[in-house]
Amino acid sequence: MGRVSCKVVVLTGAARGQGAAEVEALTREGATVVATDVLDGEGVLHLDVRSPTEWAALAQTVRERYGRVDALVNNAGVAARERLPHVSLDVWQRTFDINVTGPMLGIQALVPLMGPGSSIVNVCSVAAMSGHAAAAYTASKWALRGLTRTASLELGGRGIRVNAVMPGLIETPMMANASPAFAAAALAEIPLGRIGTTADIAPLLVYLVSDESAYVNGAELVVDGGLTAHVSHKRIADATSG
């Protein structure tokens, strides 16, 4: 028996990178994972997390197939690297729509299918632990951190746990779009001396979905090699701008 055997888990942003690793880890430990993404892929249901209609359709599909949801992993997210004062409104709105509104809509749609002992995990970022120079991304992740705290209070009475995972610099397609200068400057600030991998994050998701974390609620779990223990994010941004 795996650590999450018989649990039905809905996971967004599952087509590649960190999401795909989380699907693999949860499946390996016995979960039935409903993998979703705006990107089409084998075994992945289409879901634009910005759409209440698509969330409602997903909830209906899960209800008909399984009758319940044991965990929701809000993993989908986008980067936005514009710095103040040069932040375009369309980028700002899209970032919040995906990074904040998406998880909120997921909670609204799936909580009616969740019973006591269920778990919600919001994949946040170390950008929500201190000030970062990327304005829209940082603000959206702070908002997601706040949503996590609020949800942990509101849903705790139902026995539903809500926690946040705060990854640091992880080798994913999102990270691949960053400049080599950014990666080099950031790497110099990580005490463990390496960029993280998806294998550093996925086991924590298994733990938070499993009954092993039955008394963990409202937590913010940082996985960053020690980056936020000391780092100046503005110094990294300044070293790589231009």
Nearest residue to 120 via CA among 165, 60, 178, 168: 165
Contact 121, 27 (CB under 8 A): no
Rg (CA), the chain: 17
User: Which residue in the block uniquely carries the two structure tokens 């909670």?
Assistant: 107
Nearest residue to 154 via CA among 128, 120, 125: 120
Q: Which among 66, 137, 207, 215 is annotated as catalytic?
A: 137
Q: Which amino acid is it at 200? A: D
3-state secondary structure of 229: helix
* Residue 137: active-site member: yes
By annotation, the residues acting in catalysis are 137
